[in-house]
Amino acid sequence: MQQIRAVELGTGLFVFMGILALFFLTTRVTSFDSYSGEGGYELTARFDQVGTLKTRSPVSISGVQIGRVTAIDFDVDRLEAVVTMRIASRYRIPNDSDASILTSGILGGQYIGLQPGGAEEVFQDGDEIAFTQSAVVLEQLISKYLFGQSGGGE
């Protein structure tokens, strides 16, 4: 009997330690973000060029993350990329805000930055962001600079 008690006690402690370790891994090691879940509302935006934007890339306003990109698709009719993002419901954003694809740091990943507008009304679920600015592709930037310079010099 004593033996069995020790086994049960040890196993119980072991499983408890495992749960504690998992709890540590989920709370302390990862950021427990609320905007990856099902809550919030969805917005879409059309871009000519999305660069290296990916699903689960952050959406931020004034540098504060408020949501994530949930899908990137290509509209065959209008020949544009359609980006769907999910915003946490407590952030109400004026519906004339504009979206641009920006890069964090020099080598960082790309994200969507929202620039708040001045309208009274706010975005509702399923709305489309009308004003967008595409991602800057480095090669295009360089070639524009090079050819622009040589053209201006002549």
Partner 1 sequence: MSRENSRGLRRIALEIVHSLRSFFGTFGAGQIFFLRILVNIPYALARPRLIIKQVYVTGVQSLVVIMLAGFFVGMVLALQSFLTLSRFGAEDSIGMVAALGLVRELGPVVTALLFAGRAGTALSSEIGLMRATDQLSGMEMMAVDPIKRVIVPRFLGGVIAMPILAAIFSAMGIFGAWLEGVVILGVDEGAFWSQMQAQVDLRDDVMSGVIKSVFFGIAASLLAVFEGYNSAPTAEGVGRATTRAVVHTSLTVLILNFMLTAWLLGGK
Question: Can you give the binding site for partner 1, defined by CB under 8 A?
Answer: 4, 7-8, 10-11, 13-15, 17-18, 20-22, 24-26, 28-32, 36, 54, 56
The amino acid present at 39, given as its one-letter code, is G
Q: Which is nearer to partner 1, 56 or 78 (CB)?
A: 56
Q: Which is nearer to partner 1, 15 or 137 (CB)?
A: 15
How many CB atoms sit inside 10 A of residue 13's CB? 10
The minimum distance between CB 3 and partner 1, in angstroms, equals 10
28 DSSP 8-state letter: I
- Residue tagged 């090669």 (tokens): 139
Burial class (CB in 10 A: 0-12, 13-18, 19+), 142: exposed
The minimum distance between CB 41 and partner 1, in angstroms, equals 21
* Rounded Cα–Cα distance for residues 127 and 112 (Å): 16
Rg (CA), the chain: 23
Q: Which is nearer to partner 1, 17 or 122 (CB)?
A: 17
The minimum distance between CB 57 and partner 1, in angstroms, equals 12
Q: Which is nearer to partner 1, 39 or 126 (CB)?
A: 39
